[in-house]
């Protein structure tokens, strides 16, 4: 089964930024697997991609803004 990334809209980005480390920029999620992808800038200034598992309530909140 492949992963289906859905790009986040502005409301979803604003919501998801509260769940991530300061300076992270969420950009996509998979509503079937409950995964959230984001960019994070490390102290050396290089952006690194990250992914985290959402809990059911976080996933429900993101889906409200579709």
Report if residue 47 sits inside a domain.
Answer: yes
Element (H, E) at 25: strand 24-30
Q: What pLDDT was estimated at residue 15?
A: 96
- The pTM of the full predicted model, rounded to 2 decimals, is 0.88
Domain count, the chain: 1
Range of the domain at 53: 6-63
Report if residue 1 sits inside a domain.
Answer: no
* pLDDT string in tens for the chain (66-residue length): 567 899 999 999 999 999 998 889 999 999 999 999 999 988 788 889 999 999 999 999 999 998
Report if residue 10 sits inside a domain.
Answer: yes
Q: What pLDDT was estimated at residue 44?
A: 82
Q: What pLDDT was estimated at residue 1?
A: 57
Q: 16: exposed, middle or buried (C-beta count within 10 Å: 0-12, 13-18, 19+)?
A: buried
């Amino acid at each position: 089964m492949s992963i289906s990334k859905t790009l986040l809209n502005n409301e979803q980005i604003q919501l998801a930024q509260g769940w991530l480390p300061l300076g992270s920029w969420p950009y996509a999620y998979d509503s079937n697997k409950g995964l959230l992808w984001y960019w994070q800038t490390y102290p050396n200034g290089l952006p690194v991609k990250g992914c985290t598992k959402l809990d059911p309530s976080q996933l429900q909140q993101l889906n409200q803004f579709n």
